[in-house]
Structure 1
Amino acid sequence: MTAPHPDTAAPRPASGTKVDLRKFAWLSIVTAILTIVLKTGAWAMTGSVGLLSDAAESTVNLVAAVVALIALTVAARPATERFLYGRAKAEYFSAAIEGLMIFVAAAVIMVTAVERFVNPRPLENLGIGLVIVVIASVLNGAVALVLLRAGKAHHSITLRADGKHLMTDVVTSAGILVGVGLVALTGWERLDAIVAFAVGVNIIIAGISLLTESVSGLLDKALPDEDHEIITEILRRRTDGVSTTFHGLQTREAGRERFMTVHVLVPDEWTVKHGHDYIEDLEDELKGALPGLTVLTHLEPISDPASYEDIPEAHVPIHGDDHDPTRPPQS
């Protein structure tokens, strides 16, 4: 494959302006405040330990939303002489903190549930209390969907974590509604505590998931398989097996940022400008397929054995089993 002529090469796309994600954090903060007011009122009217635990989780939601706002503010700051690659990983700290706070909420819920199981109390004003919880749950569910969609669209683990956190609150409220409803139907007051304890266990599972994702991000986990498929499809299409090929593909993500490195092997006789033009065109295609991707390339002569001695130990396979990336292709 030959490089495009400089006069006909496609122009490099302008860097897209990043969306300010802090507006979503503010939405989460306002929602948390409203749900705290609603659920606290429902608990005060009914005396249900389940509703008290639900209100406690909403308080945790508020603190988590504030942490998310701080993380998004830090992550949005430009690179400096001290932080040459920016601060995108600040989002992972936010997700880790949210995961830990979910554990705190679960502990409060479970301890309170055990105490109420041992010392059951009659519930009052269940009708109005349940209506209030339903309203709060609908509000939380709607905002959770907004955050999850925004997190997926903008590759923000902070928004995904906050959305998952709110969704666990919705699950909590649903469980509490079931428990309180069963108490009203059966008269068995300990059901309220049993359901609250079960909800606490479910919240712990959600917290473990958030912590796992945040730790993986801090350890530079690879891009998702669907991103790898897009990248390798482009590289395979540009490979002819004789004059151009690729190996040593590695990827990672840091918050909203996505990175890849790959070795580009080209004919020995190409000039520096020829190789540079080819790489520019390749990078444009990759960035067009995955907006926001930072592409780092290493140009090497295809017939030099030394070009096959620096392949990273861990890398993403690009070609099929019939292609040996550690040996020069045979003409």
Structure 2
Amino acid sequence: MDSDAARQINPFSNGKSQGLARQATYASVAVAALLIACKIGAWSVTGSVAILASLVDSLLDAFASIVTLVAVRKASAPATTEYRFGLGKAEPLAALTQAAFIAGSAVLLTVQAGERLFKPQPIQASEVGIAVMVVSIVATLGLVGFQAYVIRKSGSVAIKADSLHYKGDLLANAGVISALVLTDLLGFPQIDPLFGLAIAAYILWTARSVAAEALDMLLDKELPQEERDRIKEIALSYPEVLSMHDLRTRRAGPYRFIQIHLEFNGRLSLNHAHAVAEAVEMQVMEEFPGSEVIAHQDPTTPQWHEDTDPLPDHVPGRDT
């Protein structure tokens, strides 16, 4: 197998993780639809601004989940002659779109809660709102658990962004329950909009973290240092590789792109250097599924003498 073929086998063939990511998007849309229906009923009965805040958040979650579904399907498409690096950046684009809508929802909730803070209104049938929030928490916990499993398997930034919404929902739903209970117990209607403001602040913070990660990916930020160190460790584990330089890495959705320059003794045959570089590429791709790796071979000044240190004729773990 030549190195060009090796580079192209792994990046876009992780069908299992792509299937899991799609399942997560379907589950997300279904849960969002369920929560919207429940919260519309609860808000119409109670008139709680905290429930309204949670409802608006769920509406945006539904939109974000649909955007994520489309992005995951697009990002998992194989590379083409027009898009030689694939469409992995569809995921961070979707995440950035989600962040914008999340921030917008936080602003709207702040306005609504502010108005209710100065013009408080009594909450009706709070027990209905509490029951709906409990159902929401149970459904969201199940979804977040499944998303966490999918993120571990696929590394999808779009699923991660979607999961952040629902983790925020868990806190928001708990806040709604607290607001309803405290309002009933203390008879202080301002508690409800105060919790609405707190939920809006948390949603805004979530939008900031989602946007930051999406921008890092769109601007081709390097992989985390621990991953770069592991790549270097793999490359230098081959005795023929005297050194390495110019390691360049980036992510695009679920895929990593890695370029590395390996330094070999100048007297090593081209065939042997090529075989070692190919072995390095394959091992890095095994370590980081969904990666495209290019290892360039550079000659360097000979460091040994043929009569005392003969060149190796075998690549460890590989037939040549």
Shorter-normalised TM range: 0.7 to 0.9
Question: Partners in 1 of 2:247 and 2:79 — Cα distance?
Answer: 25
Query: Which residue identity is paired with 1:216?
Result: D
Deviations 1:61-84 (A, max 9, x none): 111111111111211222222211
Gap regions ≥5 residues in structure 2 = 303-320
Q: Aligned pair 1:17/2:14, yes or no?
A: yes
Question: Partners in 2 of 1:162 and 1:298 — Cα distance?
Answer: 38
Question: Partners in 1 of 2:186 and 2:113 — Cα distance?
Answer: 19
Match of 1:150 in 2: 150
Gap regions ≥5 residues in structure 1 = 1-5, 7-11, 305-331
Match of 2:176 in 1: 176
Match of 1:286 in 2: 284
Relative distance call for 1:283 and 1:215 in structure 2 (3 A) is: same
Partner secondary structure for residue 250 of structure 2: strand
Partner secondary structure for residue 176 of structure 2: helix
- TM-score normalised by length of structure 1: 0.84
Question: Partners in 2 of 1:76 and 1:295 — Cα distance?
Answer: 18
Partner secondary structure for residue 188 of structure 1: coil
Q: Aligned pair 1:166/2:166, yes or no?
A: yes
Q: Aligned pair 1:115/2:115, yes or no?
A: yes
Deviations 1:268-298 (A, max 9, x none): 1222211111112222222222222211111
Question: Partners in 1 of 2:301 and 2:260 — Cα distance?
Answer: 17
Q: Shift of the alpha carbon at 1:224?
A: 1.9
Question: Partners in 2 of 1:273 and 1:51 — Cα distance?
Answer: 68
Q: Shift of the alpha carbon at 1:96?
A: 0.4
Kindly indicate whether the alpha-carbon contact (under 8 Å) linking 2:65 and 2:162 is maintained by their aligned counterparts in 1. Answer: yes
- For the aligned residues, what is the CA RMSD? 2.0
Question: Partners in 2 of 1:292 and 1:49 — Cα distance?
Answer: 45
Kindly indicate whether the alpha-carbon contact (under 8 Å) linking 2:236 and 2:242 is maintained by their aligned counterparts in 1. Answer: no
Deviations 1:106-141 (A, max 9, x none): 112111111111111111111122011111122112
Kindly indicate whether the alpha-carbon contact (under 8 Å) linking 1:148 and 1:164 is maintained by their aligned counterparts in 2. Answer: no
Query: Which has a greater percent of helix?
Result: 2
Partner secondary structure for residue 131 of structure 1: helix
Match of 2:248 in 1: 250
Q: Shift of the alpha carbon at 1:226?
A: 2.8
Kindly indicate whether the alpha-carbon contact (under 8 Å) linking 1:249 and 1:263 is maintained by their aligned counterparts in 2. Answer: yes
Partner secondary structure for residue 298 of structure 2: strand
Query: Which residue identity is paired with 1:108?
Result: L
Partner secondary structure for residue 181 of structure 2: helix
Match of 1:141 in 2: 141
Q: Shift of the alpha carbon at 1:198?
A: 1.2
Kindly indicate whether the alpha-carbon contact (under 8 Å) linking 2:72 and 2:90 is maintained by their aligned counterparts in 1. Answer: yes
Question: Partners in 1 of 2:84 and 2:263 — Cα distance?
Answer: 29
Query: Which residue identity is paired with 1:281?
Result: A
Deviations 1:31-86 (A, max 9, x none): 00000011111112211111111111100011111111111121122222221111
Kindly indicate whether the alpha-carbon contact (under 8 Å) linking 1:144 and 1:162 is maintained by their aligned counterparts in 2. Answer: no
Deviations 1:222-279 (A, max 9, x none): 1123322321222333357xx7221221211111111211111111122221111111
Deviations 1:163-201 (A, max 9, x none): 001111111111121111110110000110111111101
Q: Aligned pair 1:94/2:91, yes or no?
A: no
Query: Which residue identity is paired with 1:104?
Result: G
Partner secondary structure for residue 87 of structure 1: coil
- TM-score normalised by length of structure 2: 0.86
Match of 2:74 in 1: 74
Match of 2:265 in 1: 267
Match of 1:29 in 2: 29
Match of 2:195 in 1: 195
Query: Which residue identity is paired with 2:140?
Result: N
Deviations 1:3-51 (A, max 9, x none): xxx9xxxxx7964432322221111111000000111111122111111
Question: Partners in 2 of 1:256 and 1:77 — Cα distance?
Answer: 11
Question: Partners in 2 of 1:141 and 1:23 — Cα distance?
Answer: 16
Identity among equivalent positions (%) equals 28
Partner secondary structure for residue 109 of structure 1: helix
Query: Which residue identity is paired with 1:229?
Result: D
Range that drifts further, 109-118 or 15-24? 15-24
- Count of residue pairs brought into register by the alignment: 293
Kindly indicate whether the alpha-carbon contact (under 8 Å) linking 2:244 and 2:260 is maintained by their aligned counterparts in 1. Answer: yes
Query: Which residue identity is paired with 2:246?
Result: G
Partner secondary structure for residue 221 of structure 1: coil
Query: Which residue identity is paired with 1:163?
Result: S
